[in-house]
Structure 1
Amino acid sequence: YVIALIFLIFDVEVVFLFPWAVVFKDMGMVALVEMGIFLSILIVGLAYVWVKSDLDWIKRTVRYGSGRYQKIAMEQEK
């Protein structure tokens, strides 16, 4: 579910990048700066999602066996 939402969010960028590519020669530096700002916002969003590890298909979980706790309890009794 989360992967689908992330795909939709970043897929919308194509809607904005295509017209920019069409008028880039006419607008010149203004279009370049505008798209630079737009892409930097998207990159910050991608970095945030990546750091939160929401792009992982399988979340890693740490599980401890019951033997670990028994061993600690036995060491504390000594």
Structure 2
Amino acid sequence: MDNDLQNKIDVLGLQAVDEKAYNKDLKPHEETYKRAKIDINRFKNYKLYGGEHMLYSIEYIERTPIEELLKLIRLMQY
């Protein structure tokens, strides 16, 4: 993982989707994602906002400027 990507992940406070997080936060919604044709395996990071998870793909983090990501996080916290 390159430095810019890791810095964004650190600044945003994102967590890696590991087996524990997958089973707790994603697996209960697996069927909903399948019906919506969303491949949850492409999401490698997430952040919880008031108990709701927001998923982030590596591609999205890489292509989105940090300023825009921070602005979205501020909006999600309200």
The structure richer in strand per residue is: 2
TM-score of Structure 1 vs Structure 2, range by shorter chain: under 0.3
- Tell me the TM-score normalised to structure 2 length: 0.26
The structure richer in helix per residue is: 1
- Tell me the TM-score normalised to structure 1 length: 0.26
| Higher Cα radius of gyration | 1
